[in-house]
Amino acid sequence: MTPEAIYLSGPMFGAMARISRPKLSGPGTHEGVLLPDGRVAHTSVGVNTNICDFWEFAAGNPVKVESVLPQALHLHALSVLNDELARNVPYDLLAYNCEIFSRKVVLQEPRSPQVGFWMSVGAVLGIWWLSQQAVAT
């Protein structure tokens, strides 16, 4: 049995969690890290890595808890966050997007399942297109 999704109606003070909400444009979700003070750290196009309040991150959308970080790991995660803020890496869809950033901060493997999915779809479509070209000739 899989656990039921948890949605936040406001900040969850004292906790650190990887959270998501629907993207404002296009399919998929936008991820960030809920901080113990209720603010959210995230990265996005044109803003790089930043911290905003919960409501700005939510932008009127439901916010889902993806994973909660045990309190014993908060200091380590906050240290990683401070390093990321100091690096100020520009947003990059493939190399440094919101999923990679948020997973890195909450001490998970920094990867982007959404980008992986769309790259797989593109590869399958490309192979199909090439096979159609071979049949046509």
pLDDT tens profile 79-109: 999 999 999 999 998 889 999 999 999 999 9
Answer for the pair 115, 101: CB distance below 8 angstroms, yes or no: no
> Where do the structural domains in the chain lie, given as residue ranges?
6-136
Q: How far is residue 17's CA from residue 34's CA, in Å, rounded to a whole number? A: 5
* Residue 94 Cα to chain centre, angstroms: 12
Distance CA 102, CA 137 (A): 48
**16 pLDDT above the threshold of 80:** yes
The domain 6-136 is placed in CATH, from the list 3.90.120, 3.40.50, 2.40.50, 3.90.1720, at 3.90.1720
